[in-house]
Chain A
Amino acid sequence: MVYLYAVLAFALIASILAVMYKPLGDYMYGVFTSKDDLFFERWIYRIIGVASDKEQTWKAYLRGVLGFSLMSVLVLYLLQRVQHWLPFSLGFPNVEGPLAFNTAASFVTNTNWQSYSPDVTLGYTVQFAGLAVQNFVSAAVGIAVAIALVRGFARRRSDTIGNFWVDLTRCTMRILLPISIVMAIILMALGVAQNFAGFVDVHTVAGGSQTIMQGPVASQEVIKELGTNGGGFFNANSSHPYENPNMWTNLIEILLMLCIPVALTRTFGRMVGNVRQGYALLGAMTTLFAVGFLAVVTAESFSNDPITGLTGGSMEGKEDRFGIVWSGLFGTTSTGTSTGAVNSMHDSYTALGGMVYMVNMMLGEVSPGGVGSGLYSILVMAVVAVFIAGLMVGRTPEYLGKKIGPREMKMASLYFLVMPVTVVVGVALSFALPFARQSVFDTSLANSGNHGFSEVVYAFVSAANNNGSAFAGLTADTPWLDTALGVAVLLGRFVPIVLVVALAGSLAKQDVVPQTSGTMRTDNRLFVFLLVFVIFIISALTFFPTLALGPLAEGLVA
């Protein structure tokens, strides 16, 4: 019964996405290939001093990405450090150094890991001028990098891969802002809060009194999901009734998270001149998503715990208004898109259900991944898959007509090395360095044993994949975790970006090998299967020992 419900819910989401797939994908294709600037874009280019018709080499493009991001980190850090003196601070004090660094790194990298509790830490100015701005531009940076990589595949014998400033501006102004404005109004209409009322004292039914924070939630909520950011206005994130009051807002928020990553495969297909190539990537993403979703529904519905037998499933940490299916769908979406928003508490899932969310991230966030980052991640994995399997048809492997040689392989191999290494080393150091171990055991961990271990693993997996969700039983606002996770989000974001942009550069320089019947097809079912297998096996092999010590040891019963 629960499966029927799950399949119907999945089908509902899939069919809505199917309807918007072509229009949105084609629209984004137009945005990134158009030669014309809009009038307000011309003003922006004039202010920042960019010649919009001048394309950049991969090195210049990369300098743009890194320079812009570094500046963003500094601005966001400073804003927090001086917030007390800014207007609309709601009286909150300046944020401490490690936490400010952690938050700045987290929002600039599109992670939105929140070591702080937003309701009691940040005023409106930092939320708006700092976090909300980053919610837009960090998402735009991810999309820009993905588009640059796609240009690498699409172009032949080209030294340039586009102009970062143009991509960034257009993505923000033409894609993220318009959708956000429209959807914010719809969310408000459906009951999401939007005001500047500050703190309101209310008397509860039971006669107690409570202080409830109010604020401009709906406007933040949209870009939180649309840009796969995930940093909630409230600590409770999308399980908070102000952020996500009912089934309809829940559905819309899931769709907002998925729409751009999914439709980007169409944009990709259009740009490389074969939409079937995009379908193949989408096929792999969908397969991974569907398997994850069904796994989590299974784990939550059929656990051995006698209480769940009575309630019909493991309902701890889940909102009654969403139930197992819609919590599972939201969680799968959020962990599969690098959003990290939650409408249920992942820490409270069964061991194996929580593991599914971890695995979604461990796969490298490709089901369907964050905005832009999902596309470039799966493209890199496609390069690896093509390399291994392509040899088996007896040719030097090629993907989309580009030969995968030593240089391309170096970029791709380093790419899939970064995230797992960051995670396992991060977790290992947390328990190996004496001061870190002490801090983790004494302060951070509320649970002991395998589950406590899982919480730390989840934190590092979430950080290195720029997801931002948490096994929230962990107290992460400690000097060690603030710093280590801050470093993890930076490594997990920018090392891959450097490799991807470099890869784009070397691909763009190549000529295109014409496709023949001797070419390995990358737009059919066999390739989808292969891609899923390669993504799965690489992360499975890397994380098996870690998972065995955490959720598997906790959840498996002999």
Chain B
Amino acid sequence: MSTATANDVANDIASDVRNSNNKSMGVMLVKSLPDALRKFDPRNMWHNPVMFIVWVGAAFLTLLAVAQLFSPDDLSHGQPVYFTWIIAIVLWFTVLFANLAEAVAEGRGKAQADALRKTRTTTPAHRVVCYDAENDPDVRGPEKGHGPSSIVEVPSSDLKLGDVVVVEAGDLIPGDGDIISGIASVDESAITGESAPVIRESGGDRSAVTGGTRVLSDRIIVRITQKPGESFVDKMIALVEGANRQKTPNEIALDVLLSSLTIIFLIVVLCINPQASAVGASVSLTVLIALLVCLIPTTIGALLSAIGIAGMDRLVQRNVLATSGRAIEAAGDVTTLLLDKTGTITYGNRQASNFHTLPGVDHDEIVRAAALSSLTDSTPEGQSIVDLARKEGMELDDIEGAKAVPFTAETRMSGLDLPTGERIRKGATSAIEHWVSEEGAGIGQEVLDAMHDRVESVSNAGGTPLVVAEQGANGVVRILGVVQLKDVVKKGLRERFADMRAMGIRTVMVTGDNPLTAAAIAKEAGVDDFIAEAKPEDKLAYIKREQSKGQLVAMTGDGTNDAPALAQSDVGVAMNSGTSAAKEAGNMVDLDSDPTKLIDIVQIGKQLLITRGALTTFSIANDIAKYFAIIPAMFMEQFPGLGVLNVMGLHSSLSAVLSAIIFNAIIIVLLIPLALKGVKYRAKSSEKILGRNLSIYGLGGIVVPFVGIWIIDLFVRLIPGF
């Protein structure tokens, strides 16, 4: 803090502002002008007490200025008549700038809302009458000997909660719902912006579809889960437009502080003339109102709602929808992150990393067997085994007449039957053991022990063991060894988790793996804790336990059985690909279904709060300089000693007041980009963040207006009469 010179501070602010300044800002300001003008309605201004005071002050001064035209001697207090006019105009501009900030913030959401609105056009829907789930789940119709159901065409706007519709390839899905029968590829680009189609199918966690998206192939039966006019898209539009935006608890608390400061300054200013009368001085109404506007926290008052809207908007930019601003704030407060292992911490697919042979087995033998059995296996795991074998120098050719044995849930293994009669199998330990004993081979306890030994060491290292066994042409069954499949931790996550730790956030990995495997991966990824062999109720229990310790928990989820945990968590991010139950339960939806984004969401929440705090500090710190401009201006003539306080060397009383009030207005416009973009945020300890922001916005808040007012005064003094 102490090392930061005024110069550094100025540079820092400049760079913060520059970074946040996008080129189209000027254009956006102009575009938002009509909306900003509409906001002058006092019924609208009333919601912002700080700016309402400015509005009233401007209106009053305008009336005063008019009155002065008729009776200049009585009302002008010895100041030129146009002085009041100029101050009044600057005040109107101050209000305009505040309205502009809000309008620009809202404008960014509007464009998005318009795009969404297009998807909401009424489409014909094929509603099923008398849906019969038992006999005719696919709605083939009575004419084909099925149930009594029939299809009628209705406008999508007439669909009610619980209606069942049929959607064919090429149709728009008429409303939000769950697929109850069928599978289809769906183009969701209208909502997510992602052009690659996604698969949606009944049952399971990929059953939710959104109204306005298009079915590309196949035919699905959808049960509508929305009420008319309350679709997901409707909610999105309302959110991004900021319609019925509610103040968050933190905004309310800040409002309370700002209102109190406003009340104090209002009373202080009202009491100036009575006090001054004690020493035979008095101050003109124009100057008093200018002082009041300078003192009340107009900077933050003008930008507060823009900051909130912009925070919401930043989430939307990242394709995350929050159901309320409150959820974003809660994200900033999160202290525990629950992250699913697969897909979030590790890539969805495991990679073969090692072959472990059992005693008496040649290394090449297991490599060959494992690779052969994987040749026809198109899964990434299978391919990685082949790749690894090739890397170890094994040459592999397709074998004529070999028959692939695919993986089934029952056998839990896959393999290959060779024309020679050889059979190769690979699978989970217990499955292979089962197969071996079923084939009637007497495997020695030693071999089994050796196998368990390998399996355990693979698990300990965080890998998944895949046991490979072979039945020779002569019918002898042998266990060859163990292939080690490894979870691959996503790149850069370790560093991000370290950042999280610095920010005071614990990361917890949730996995279905056994505790040994889980511990190894947890260590590799650098998470603070893990839940192994996790069932959905474990997640819920963990969240409750954390919350009872006062922690705030965030999680992602997509399945119906995630819903209770999503609802319990403080920030529950549902994947858009998930079920509608999950989406209902969470307070955010990630349209990209990227669980890693949880980390971004936390940062956006923090950034929002930081921006609010930084501009509040800046706004309050500004007052010092304004006092040093206006107080000498008010009383210097009568008490020359107060000239000592005119440290900026401002030209005259009038120029001092005008410069201060102009600075007060201009700073709002200058800070709009920062309010919209947010203060730069780096994951660091609270102390470093606070130190940095205090030196920029606290110290800067004191220094900048001294310089700014001084510069403005250099120009204002050129106005004749000032």
List residues of chain A with CB under 8 Å of any chain B CB: 384, 387-396, 401, 404-406, 408-410, 413-414, 416-417, 420-421, 424-425, 427-432, 449-450, 452-453, 456, 511-514, 516-521, 524, 526, 529-530, 533, 537, 540-542, 544-546, 548-549, 552-558
What are the interface flags for B498-541 relative to A under an 8 Å C-beta threshold, 1 for contact and 0 otherwise? 00011111100000000000000000000000000000000000
**In the assembled complex, how far is the CB of residue B358 from the closest CB belonging to chain A, in whole angstroms?**
48
Known: A406-B249, A526-B687. A394 touches B605 (CB 8 A): yes
- Please determine whether A549 and B635 come into contact, CB atoms closer than 8 angstroms: yes
Lowest 8 A-B CB distances belong to which pairs?
A518-B504, A391-B613, A394-B606, A516-B504, A413-B260, A556-B641, A428-B271, A553-B639
**In the assembled complex, how far is the CB of residue A418 from the closest CB belonging to chain B, in whole angstroms?**
10
- Please determine whether B686 and A427 come into contact, CB atoms closer than 8 angstroms: no
Q: Main SS of chain B's interface residues?
A: helix
- Please determine whether A392 and B614 come into contact, CB atoms closer than 8 angstroms: yes
Q: Which chain B residue lies CB-closest to A429?
A: B274
Q: How far is the CA of A511 from the CA of B249 in the complex (A)?
A: 17
**In the assembled complex, how far is the CB of residue A136 from the closest CB belonging to chain B, in whole angstroms?**
35
- Please determine whether A518 and B644 come into contact, CB atoms closer than 8 angstroms: no
B631 within 8 Å of A (CB atoms): yes
Contact of A514 among B254, B272, B549, B685 (CB under 8 A): B549
- Please determine whether A388 and B613 come into contact, CB atoms closer than 8 angstroms: yes
Known: A393-B610, A405-B249, A542-B268. A553 touches B263 (CB 8 A): no
B366 within 8 Å of A (CB atoms): no
Q: Which residues of the other chain, A, contact B501 by a CB distance below 8 angstroms? A: 517
- Please determine whether A545 and B253 come into contact, CB atoms closer than 8 angstroms: no
Known: A391-B612, A406-B252. A552 touches B278 (CB 8 A): no
Q: With A396-B609, A553-B642 given, can you name 9 additional A-B contacts, CB distance below 8 Å?
A: A388-B616, A389-B617, A391-B250, A391-B609, A394-B606, A420-B267, A424-B268, A541-B620, A545-B269
Q: Which residues of the other chain, A, contact B612 by a CB distance below 8 angstroms? A: 391
Contact of A524 among B610, B623, B643, B687 (CB under 8 A): B687
Q: Which residues of the other chain, B, contact A429 by a CB distance below 8 angstroms? A: 274
Contact residues of B between 543 and 588, Cβ < 8 Å to A: 549-552
B279 within 8 Å of A (CB atoms): yes
B333 within 8 Å of A (CB atoms): yes
List residues of chain B with CB under 8 Å of any chain A CB: 1, 249-250, 252-254, 256-257, 259-260, 263-265, 267-272, 274-279, 281, 295, 329, 332-333, 335, 501-506, 549-552, 605-607, 609-610, 612-614, 616-617, 620-621, 623-624, 627, 631, 634-635, 638-645, 681, 685-687, 689-691, 693-694, 697-698
- Please determine whether A392 and B697 come into contact, CB atoms closer than 8 angstroms: yes
- Please determine whether B694 and A389 come into contact, CB atoms closer than 8 angstroms: yes
- Please determine whether B264 and A553 come into contact, CB atoms closer than 8 angstroms: no
- Please determine whether B685 and A450 come into contact, CB atoms closer than 8 angstroms: no
Q: Which residues of the other chain, A, contact B268 by a CB distance below 8 angstroms? A: 420, 424, 542, 545
**In the assembled complex, how far is the CB of residue A397 from the closest CB belonging to chain B, in whole angstroms?**
8
**In the assembled complex, how far is the CB of residue B249 from the closest CB belonging to chain A, in whole angstroms?**
5
**In the assembled complex, how far is the CB of residue B98 from the closest CB belonging to chain A, in whole angstroms?**
20
Most-contacted residue by chain B among A517, A524, A530, A533 (CB, 10 A)? A517
- Please determine whether A558 and B644 come into contact, CB atoms closer than 8 angstroms: yes
Q: How far is the CA of A64 from the CA of B204 in the complex (A)?
A: 62
- Please determine whether B274 and A518 come into contact, CB atoms closer than 8 angstroms: no
Known: A404-B253, A406-B256. A390 touches B613 (CB 8 A): yes
**In the assembled complex, how far is the CB of residue A458 from the closest CB belonging to chain B, in whole angstroms?**
13
Q: How far is the CA of A453 from the CA of B271 in the complex (A)?
A: 14
Known: A542-B268, A553-B639. A409 touches B617 (CB 8 A): no
Known: A541-B627, A553-B639. A432 touches B277 (CB 8 A): yes
Known: A414-B260, A416-B260, A541-B627. A530 touches B694 (CB 8 A): yes
Q: Which residues of the other chain, A, contact B638 by a CB distance below 8 angstroms? A: 553
17 interchain pairs, CB-CB under 8 A: A391-B612, A392-B689, A394-B606, A413-B260, A417-B264, A420-B264, A424-B271, A452-B278, A514-B549, A521-B687, A526-B690, A537-B621, A540-B624, A541-B620, A545-B272, A548-B631, A557-B641
- Please determine whether A548 and B505 come into contact, CB atoms closer than 8 angstroms: no
Contact of A556 among B265, B272, B610, B642 (CB under 8 A): B642
Q: Which residues of the other chain, B, contact A542 by a CB distance below 8 angstroms? A: 264-265, 268
Most-contacted residue by chain A among B275, B278, B549 (CB, 10 A)? B278
- Please determine whether B295 and A549 come into contact, CB atoms closer than 8 angstroms: no
Contact of A449 among B279, B607, B623, B687 (CB under 8 A): B279
**In the assembled complex, how far is the CB of residue A506 from the closest CB belonging to chain B, in whole angstroms?**
12
- Please determine whether A413 and B256 come into contact, CB atoms closer than 8 angstroms: yes
Known: A424-B267, A548-B635. A513 touches B550 (CB 8 A): yes
**In the assembled complex, how far is the CB of residue B167 from the closest CB belonging to chain A, in whole angstroms?**
44
Q: Which residues of the other chain, B, contact A518 by a CB distance below 8 angstroms? A: 335, 503-505, 685-686
- Please determine whether B264 and A393 come into contact, CB atoms closer than 8 angstroms: no
Q: Which residues of the other chain, A, contact B639 by a CB distance below 8 angstroms? A: 450, 548-549, 553, 556
- Please determine whether B295 and A396 come into contact, CB atoms closer than 8 angstroms: no
Q: Which residues of the other chain, A, contact B640 by a CB distance below 8 angstroms? A: 558
Q: How far is the CA of A554 from the CA of B689 in the complex (A)?
A: 43
Known: A511-B550, A541-B627. A424 touches B275 (CB 8 A): yes
Q: Which residues of the other chain, A, contact B614 by a CB distance below 8 angstroms? A: 391-392
- Please determine whether A392 and B613 come into contact, CB atoms closer than 8 angstroms: yes
- Please determine whether A427 and B690 come into contact, CB atoms closer than 8 angstroms: no
Q: How far is the CA of A420 from the CA of B550 in the complex (A)?
A: 37
Contact of A519 among B264, B634, B686, B693 (CB under 8 A): B686
Q: How far is the CA of A431 from the CA of B279 in the complex (A)?
A: 10
- Please determine whether A409 and B275 come into contact, CB atoms closer than 8 angstroms: no
Q: How far is the CA of A396 from the CA of B256 in the complex (A)?
A: 15
Q: How far is the CA of A394 from the CA of B609 in the complex (A)?
A: 5
- Please determine whether B267 and A514 come into contact, CB atoms closer than 8 angstroms: no
Q: Which residues of the other chain, B, contact A555 by a CB distance below 8 angstroms? A: 641
Known: A388-B620, A408-B253, A424-B268. A395 touches B685 (CB 8 A): no
Q: Which chain B residue lies CB-closest to A410?
A: B256
Q: How far is the CA of A529 from the CA of B275 in the complex (A)?
A: 33
Q: Which residues of the other chain, B, contact A431 by a CB distance below 8 angstroms? A: 274-275, 277-278
Q: Which residues of the other chain, B, contact A416 by a CB distance below 8 angstroms? A: 260, 264
Q: How far is the CA of A430 from the CA of B274 in the complex (A)?
A: 8
- Please determine whether B278 and A519 come into contact, CB atoms closer than 8 angstroms: no
- Please determine whether A526 and B271 come into contact, CB atoms closer than 8 angstroms: no
Q: Which residues of the other chain, B, contact A405 by a CB distance below 8 angstroms? A: 249-250, 253
Most-contacted residue by chain B among A392, A449, A519 (CB, 10 A)? A392
Q: How far is the CA of A516 from the CA of B503 in the complex (A)?
A: 8
Q: Which residues of the other chain, A, contact B685 by a CB distance below 8 angstroms? A: 517-518
- Please determine whether A548 and B645 come into contact, CB atoms closer than 8 angstroms: yes
Contact of A549 among B252, B267, B281, B693 (CB under 8 A): B281
Q: Which chain A residue lies CB-closest to B617?
A: A388
Q: Which residues of the other chain, A, contact B551 by a CB distance below 8 angstroms? A: 514
